[in-house]
Amino acid sequence: MGGVKIVVTGASGLIGTALVTRLHASGHEVVRLVRRPPRAGDEVRWDPERGTVDLDGLAGVDGAVHLAGAGVGDHRWTDDYKRQIRDSRVLGTRTLVEALTKLDPLPRVLVSGSAVGYYGSRGDEVLTETSGAGEGFLAEVVHAWEAEAVPAAQAGIRVTYARTGLVMAPTGGAFGRLLPLLKLGVAGPLGNGRQWWPWITLEDETAALEFLLEKDVEGPVNLSAPNPQRQGELTKALGRAFRRPALLPAPAIALRAVLGEFAADVLASQRMLPKALLDAGFSFRHPDLDSAAEWLRAQS
């Protein structure tokens, strides 16, 4: 795909910021949807809660990457914040899809954000895109989130659901919180450390999103490295890369005391594999944990 016009929501977030940089480097024109008055020529205003988008700013858009949503780990899960987590995804997707389906010509593709939370906690079960939905709050949120993109597919837009795992980056996300502790030598297993963590480096995450814009892939796509690891082994690999011990465990009871209901998802086990990505020919820069950990150290 040559240089085309791509609209991105959540462009100021961890993944969105890196994706915009990648898309610009590939020669694409990027339109960033923002909730405030635009301050730059590439910004277009939208209001997901009111369901409005400046359609004129989307004229000529070839594709969209939808990443906007309240961070699941940013605050303790009160009833109000759980509602914010859900509404930010459901209303945001609904608003974007309604705008895209009004355009003429229609955009060619929508890569709609999703998450590993779709599967719930599944122990040692291998999870691919054909695995069914799990149980729990995040599974329910992701199911509703993905459902809001269905009208885009019905209108003739190719839709993929990017079910992202835990993004490995030096700042932001779960790893951004783990690394400062690791550097102090106090990061260790969470709970029993035997839960599977579906990780992916930020570099591979953004490369995969760009890949999905270009390749004829539709439906759910797992965005995680092909070698998921148990959380305890992952922490040990990071400890080796940063030359710090990773021994002190964080007991499940302590996590529940600090994180509340969100602790259940931190302790969830999701052995997710990126079958659809691999079948489509995607090549990971960091397919194994040691190379990913070294990459993370170099970025820190």
Mean pLDDT per 10-residue segment, the chain (300 residues): 89 96 97 96 96 96 96 82 95 98 98 96 96 94 97 98 93 74 65 86 98 97 94 84 69 51 69 98 95 90
Q: Which two tokens stand for residue 84?
A: 């914010």
- Listed by start position, the domains of the chain span 5-299
Q: Which two tokens stand for residue 206?
A: 């953004």
Q: Are 271 and 125 in contact (CB under 8 A)?
A: yes
SS3 161: strand
Q: What is the DSSP letter of 272?
A: E
Amino acid 255: pLDDT: 47
Amino acid 197: pLDDT: 87
Q: Which CATH number fits domain 5-299: 3.40.50.11540, 3.40.50.720, 3.20.20.100, 1.10.220.110?
A: 3.40.50.720
Distance (Å) of CA 24 to CA 8, 16, 78: 12, 12, 38
Quick: pLDDT tens for 230-279. 888 888 888 888 887 665 555 555 445 544 555 555 678 999 999 999 99
